[in-house]
C-alpha cells in the first residue's frame, strides 16, 4: 500500500542507493592517463660538511645551497602554530602571503591545480619544482606530494612528459624529474599553464610539510625556460603580463616573528616612508661562453662598496677586478641560512677577532662572547649584522667556542664574491624590482631596520640568542692549528670577448612589460604600491568604571589548508575491474534493499 511516509522512506533509500556508487566513482573513477616516467640522472656526491652548505657552480645557473641542519619547526596543518597565517589572500593587483620559518628556510603556501603546498623561497634560483607522488626516494616520504596519477583538468603535459629537469645544489644534493604545466595560485594571483618541474628523484632534504622550491630569480637563470618555449618563471609570468601593480616583490624576514612575501607592492607595515629606501642597480653579466641568452640579467647581485667589523674596515678583493670592476659582487639569497665570502677577505675578518681559529672547510671558530657586528655599505647606508646573527652555533665539545659566519669559499667562476642569506636579510626589508623593458633597469631596494655599526649586544644577550635558537653544532675542534688553504682562480665563466655590459643598462626583454610607468628611477621617488598583511594579533584597550585601563591581547583565527596528498595514502586512483565490480555491486545492493520496502 502506498503511503506518503513509505514514499519518503523510499526516496531516502533511493538516494542512499546512489550514494555508494557516487562515493565509489569519486574514489575509484579514472583520473586520466598515468604520467610517463623519465629516466633520472645520478646526482653527484658531496664531500662538504652537511650542516655547512657552500656554492659550487660551473654553468650559467646558480641554484641555492640548501641548508640541511635539522631544527624543530611546525608547518601548516600542524595545529596551534602562528605559521598557519600563511594563506592565500586575493588583493587585486597586489598580494601578500605570510612566510613560515622552518629548518633555516622560509616557506609560503600556494596552490598547484586543486592542491595546496608549502614551498621554500629562493632568490638565487628561478625554477619552481615540486615533489610528485612518483618520487620513490627517502626524501619524498611523508611529504605532501603532487598526486601525479590523479586527473587534473588544469594539467598540461609538455613533450609527453619527456622534457627532463635536473637541478644540482652546492651541498651535493640534486633533484630530477620532468617539465609540465599546471595552474599555480599564489597570494591571490593565478597563472594558468605555468611551467614547473615535477620531481621523481630527490636527495635534497626539505623541512617537514614542505614540498618544493620556488625560485624568484631572473628568466636567464631558469633551466625550465631554456628547455621549454614560452616558459618564464612564475613571478616573471606575472611581471611580463602586467598583472602586478609594479614589477617587483618584497621580502620581510623575521625568524622569530611574521615574515611576508609581497607581490607587486611593498609591505607598508614595515616601510612607513619609501624615500628611506636605498636603491642599488643589479649587476648585468655578459653571455656565457657559447651561450645563447639575450638578457644581461642573471642574478640578484649588486656591488659591495665596503665592509667593517665593529667599526674597523676590512679590505675587500674582487675575484676578477679587471672584468667586474674594483668592487666585489654580492648575491642576496633567502635560500641560504648563512654568509659566504672569498678566503682572503674572510681571513681578514677573523684575524681581528681574538682567539679565532680555522677549523676546516672554510669555517672559523671564535669565543662565543667575542662575536662582533659586521657592517656593510653598498652605497651610503650602513647595514649591520648583529653579533648574535654572526654565530652558527655552540661547539658541543667546547661550549665556550662557537662556529661563526662568514664561511670562506674558493673563488667562483661567475665572479660573485659574497653570498648574503638570512643573517643579513633579517636586518633589512628587501625589494626586488625586475625593471621595465627598455625603460627601467632591475634594482634592489634595501630599507635598513637599524643603523648601528658597533656592538650593542652584551655577552648574556648573545648567550640567550644561542639558547633560544637551540644552536648547537655537534663537532670536535681539531687539536692543531690548520693552515689557510690556497686556491687557483678558475677561468671566468662568461664571454670576455662580448661587449661588456654596463651597470644600470636597460633590459631589452624578459622584464616588466613596457606599459608600466617607471617609479624607481624617477627624479624623486615618492610612491610605490603598498600592501598590509592581515594582523595575527589584536590588542584591545578599554577603561573600566574606576578609570583603570585594561589591555587584552588575542590571537586572530587563521584558515588552515590541507596540503597535497601525503605519500603512503591508501586511496586507489585507478579504475580496475575489481573496483568497478565493487561500485556496481554496492549500487545494486542498496537498490535491492530499497525495493524491499516498495509496496
We report the CATH number of the domain holding residue 116 as 2.40.70.10
pLDDT at 189 over 50: yes
Bridging pattern class, strands 472-473 and 391-395: parallel
In b/e form, how buried is each residue of 164-195, taking b as 16+ CB within 10 angstroms? bbebbbbbbbbbbbbbbbbbbbbbbbebebbb
Residue 456 gets which letter from DSSP? -
Model confidence pLDDT, tens digit, residues 118-154: 999 999 999 999 999 999 899 999 999 999 988 899 9
Q: Is residue 269 part of a domain?
A: yes
Q: Give 356-403 pLDDT, tens digit per residue.
A: 999 988 999 999 989 999 999 999 999 999 999 999 988 888 888 999
User: CA-CA distance, 51 to 122, in Å (whole number)?
Assistant: 18
Mean pLDDT of 446-452: 82
* Residue range 67-76: mean pLDDT, rounded: 25
Q: Could you tell me if 22 and 97 lie in one domain?
A: no
Most confident stretch, 31-35, 223-227, 253-257, 590-594: 223-227
For residues 218 and 102, the model is more confident at 218
Q: How many CB atoms lie within 10 A of CB 489?
A: 12
Count helices and strands (H / E) in the chain.
8, 34
pTM listed for this prediction? 0.77
Q: What's the pLDDT tens digit per position in 316-331?
A: 999 999 999 999 999 9
Buried b (16+ CB within 10 A) or exposed e, 316-333: bebbbeeebeebbbbbbb
Domain range for 579 is 4-30+574-595
C-alpha cell read off for 33? 592517463
Residue of higher predicted confidence among 326 and 599: 326
Rounded CA-CA distance 63/47 in Å is: 18
Pick the range with the lowest mean pLDDT from 16-25, 239-248, 549-558: 16-25
Residues 420, 423: Cα–Cα separation, whole Å: 7
pLDDT of residue 561: 77
User: In this structure, is residue 35 part of a structural domain?
Assistant: no
Query: What does the mean pLDDT of the chain come to?
Result: 78
| Among 4-8, 242-246, 505-509, the least confident range | 4-8
Tens digit of each residue's pLDDT (9 = 90 or more) over 75-84: 222 333 333 2
- 11-15, 160-164, 481-485: which range is least confident on average? 11-15
Give the 3-state secondary structure of residue 310: coil
The reply to whether 392 and 273 lie within a common domain is yes
Q: Are residues 585 and 476 in the same domain?
A: no
pLDDT at 467: 66
Pairing of strands 339-342, 357-360: unpaired
Residues 293 and 410 in one domain: yes
The pLDDT score that the predictor gives to residue 362 is: 92
Tell whether the model's pLDDT for residue 584 goes beyond 60.
no
Same domain, 357 and 311: yes
pLDDT value at residue 523: 73
* Percentage above 70 pLDDT, the chain: 70
Contacts of the segment 565-569: beta carbons below 8 A, 24+ positions apart: 565/115, 565/133, 565/144, 565/145, 565/146, 565/147, 565/150, 566/142, 566/143, 566/144, 566/145, 567/133, 567/135, 567/140, 567/141, 567/142, 567/143, 567/145, 568/141, 568/142
Q: Which of 396, 465, 342, 475 is nearest to 52 (CA)?
A: 475
Using one digit for the tens of pLDDT, what is the confidence trace for 405-418? 999 999 999 999 99
Examine the pLDDT at 538 and tell me if it is beyond 80.
no
pLDDT of 196 over the 90 cut: yes
Q: Do 391 and 514 belong to one domain?
A: yes
Per-residue confidence band for 93, with pLDDT thresholds at 50, 70 and 90? confident
User: What's the grid cell of residue 494?
Assistant: 662568461
Instruction: Clarify whether residues 486 and 590 are in a common domain.
Output: no
Q: Measured between alpha carbons, how far is 435 from 279 in angstroms, rounded to an integer?
A: 12
Judge contact between 356 and 366, C-beta under 8 A. yes
Between 92-101, 400-409, 543-552, the lowest mean confidence (pLDDT) is in 543-552
Least confident segment among 297-306, 532-541, 569-578: 569-578
Domain shared by 15 and 95, yes or no:
no
- Looking at residues 456-461, what average pLDDT do you find? 70
Whether residue 182 contacts residue 196, with contact meaning beta carbons closer than 8 Å, is answered with yes
Give me the pLDDT at residue 79, please: 32
- Give the lowest-confidence range in 142-151, 351-360, 451-460: 451-460
Position 415 scores a pLDDT of 96
Mean per-residue pLDDT, 522-543: 73
**What is the structure's pLDDT at 335?**
93
Task: List residues with catalytic annotation.
Answer: 122, 333
Specify the higher pLDDT residue, 338 or 564.
Answer: 338
Average pLDDT estimate for 508-515: 92
Q: Are residue 14 and residue 147 in the same domain, yes or no?
A: no
26 and 90 share a domain?
no
First-to-last alpha carbon distance for the chain, in angstroms, is 5
Cα R_g (the chain), whole angstroms: 27
Indicate whether 64 belongs to any domain. no
- Residue 137 falls inside a structural domain: yes
As for how many domains the chain has, the answer is 2
Q: For residue 444, how far is the Cα from the chain centroid?
A: 17
Which one, of 283, 286, 189, lies nearest residue 236 by Cα? 189
Distances (CA, A) of 89 to 92, 247, 288, 532: 9, 19, 40, 11
In a domain, 149, yes or no: yes
Reported as a pLDDT band with limits 50, 70 and 90, residue 41 is: very low
> Does residue 438 lie within any of the structural domains?
yes
Instruction: Give me the pLDDT at residue 53, please.
Output: 34
pLDDT for 590: 46
Residue 369 maps to a domain = yes
Q: Looking at the structure, tell me whether residues 524 and 586 fall in a common domain.
A: no
pLDDT band for 461, please (50, 70, 90 cuts).
confident
Q: What is the mean pLDDT of residues 495-506?
A: 92
Give the pLDDT mean for 574-590: 41
Q: What pLDDT does residue 153 have?
A: 95
Average pLDDT over residues 2-6: 48
pLDDT value of residue 307: 98
- The answer to whether residue 590 sits within a structural domain is yes
Name the CA dihedral angle for 359, 363, 364, 369, rounded to a multiple of 10 degrees.
-120
258 falls in which pLDDT band (50, 70, 90)? confident
The answer on pLDDT for 314 being more than 70 is yes
Cis bond leading into 347, ω under 30°? no
Contact partners, residue 315, CB within 8 Å, separation at least 6: 345, 348
| 396 shares a domain with 252 | yes
DSSP code string of 220-287: GG-HHHHHSTT---HHHHHHHTT-SSSSEEEEE--TTS-EEEEESSEETTT-S-GGGPEEEEPPP-PP
**471 has a pLDDT exceeding 70:** no
pLDDT above 90: residue 436:
yes
Amino acid at each position: 500500500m502506498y503511503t506518503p511516509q513509505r514514499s519518503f522512506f523510499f526516496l531516502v533509500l533511493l538516494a542512499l542507493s546512489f550514494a555508494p556508487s557516487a562515493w565509489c566513482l569519486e574514489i575509484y573513477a579514472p583520473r586520466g592517463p598515468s604520467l610517463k616516467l623519465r629516466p633520472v640522472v645520478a646526482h653527484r656526491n658531496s664531500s662538504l660538511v652537511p650542516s655547512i652548505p657552500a656554492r659550487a657552480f660551473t654553468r650559467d645557473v646558480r641554484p641555492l645551497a640548501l641548508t640541511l641542519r635539522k631544527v624543530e619547526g611546525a608547518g601548516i596543518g600542524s595545529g596551534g602554530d602562528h605559521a598557519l597565517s600563511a594563506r592565500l589572500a586575493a588583493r587585486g593587483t597586489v598580494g601578500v602571503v605570510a612566510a613560515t620559518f622552518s629548518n633555516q628556510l622560509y616557506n609560503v603556501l600556494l596552490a598547484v591545480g586543486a592542491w595546496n603546498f608549502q614551498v621554500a623561497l629562493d632568490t638565487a634560483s628561478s625554477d619552481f619544482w615540486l615533489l610528485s607522488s612518483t618520487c620513490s626516494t627517502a626524501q619524498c616520504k611523508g611529504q605532501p606530494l603532487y598526486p601525479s596519477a590523479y586527473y587534473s583538468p588544469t594539467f598540461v603535459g609538455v613533450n609527453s612528459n619527456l622534457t627532463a629537469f635536473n637541478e644540482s645544489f652546492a651541498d651535493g644534493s640534486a633533484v630530477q624529474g620532468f617539465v609540465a604545466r599546471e595552474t599555480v595560485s599564489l597570494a591571490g594571483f593565478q597563472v594558468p599553464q605555468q611551467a614547473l618541474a615535477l620531481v621523481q628523484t630527490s636527495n635534497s632534504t626539505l623541512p617537514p610539510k614542505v614540498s618544493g622550491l620556488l625560485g624568484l630569480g631572473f628568466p636567464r637563470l631558469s633551466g625550465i625556460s631554456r628547455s621549454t618555449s614560452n616558459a618564464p618563471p612564475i613571478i616573471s609570468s606575472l611581471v611580463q603580463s602586467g598583472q602586478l601593480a609594479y614589477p617587483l616583490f618584497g621580502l620581510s624576514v623575521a625568524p622569530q616573528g611574521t615574515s611576508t612575501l609581497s607581490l607587486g607592492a611593498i609591505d607598508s607595515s614595515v616601510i612607513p616612508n619609501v624615500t628611506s629606501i636605498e636603491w642599488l642597480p643589479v649587476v648585468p653579466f655578459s653571455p656565457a661562453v657559447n651561450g645563447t641568452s639575450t638578457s644581461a640579467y642573471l642574478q640578484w647581485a649588486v656591488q659591495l662598496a665596503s665592509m667593517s667589523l665593529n667599526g674597523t674596515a676590512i679590505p675587500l678583493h674582487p675575484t676578477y677586478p679587471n672584468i667586474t670592476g674594483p668592487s666585489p659582487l654580492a648575491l642576496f639569497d633567502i635560500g641560504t641560512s648563512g654568509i659566504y665570502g672569498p678566503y682572503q677577505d674572510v681571513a681578514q675578518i677573523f684575524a681581528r677577532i681574538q682567539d679565532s681559529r680555522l677549523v676546516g672547510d672554510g669555517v672559523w671558530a671564535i669565543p662565543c662572547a667575542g662575536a662582533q657586528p659586521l657592517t656593510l655599505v653598498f652605497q651610503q647606508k650602513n647595514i649591520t649584522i648583529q653579533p648574535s646573527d654572526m654565530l652558527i652555533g655552540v661547539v658541543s665539545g667546547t661550549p665556550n667556542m662557537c662556529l661563526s659566519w662568514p664561511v670562506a669559499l674558493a673563488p667562483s667562476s661567475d665572479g660573485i664574491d659574497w653570498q648574503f642569506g638570512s643573517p643579513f636579510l633579517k636586518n633589512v626589508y628587501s625589494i626586488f624590482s625586475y625593471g621595465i623593458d627598455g625603460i627601467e633597469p632591475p634594482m634592489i631596494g634595501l630599507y635598513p631596520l637599524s643603523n648601528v655599526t658597533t656592538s650593542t649586544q652584551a655577552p648574556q644577550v648573545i648567550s640567550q640568542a644561542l639558547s633560544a635558537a637551540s644552536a648547537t653544532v655537534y663537532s670536535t675542534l681539531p687539536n692543531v692549528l690548520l693552515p689557510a688553504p690556497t686556491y687557483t682562480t678558475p677561468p671566468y665563466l662568461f664571454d670576455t670577448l662580448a661587449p661588456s655590459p654596463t651597470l644600470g643598462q636597460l633590459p631589452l626583454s624578459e622584464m616588466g612589460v613596457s606599459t608600466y610607468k617607471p617609479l624607481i628611477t624617477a627624479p624623486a621617488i615618492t610612491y610605490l604600491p603598498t600592501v598590509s598583511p592581515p594582523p595575527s594579533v589584536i590588542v584591545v584597550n578599554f577603561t573600566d568604571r574606576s578609570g583603570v585601563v585594561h589591555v587584552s591581547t588575542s590571537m586572530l583565527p587563521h584558515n588552515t589548508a590541507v596540503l597535497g596528498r601525503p605519500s603512503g595514502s591508501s586511496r586507489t586512483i585507478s579504475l580496475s575491474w575489481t573496483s568497478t565490480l565493487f561500485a556496481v555491486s554496492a549500487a545494486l545492493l542498496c537498490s535491492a534493499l530499497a525495493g524491499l520496502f516498495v509496496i
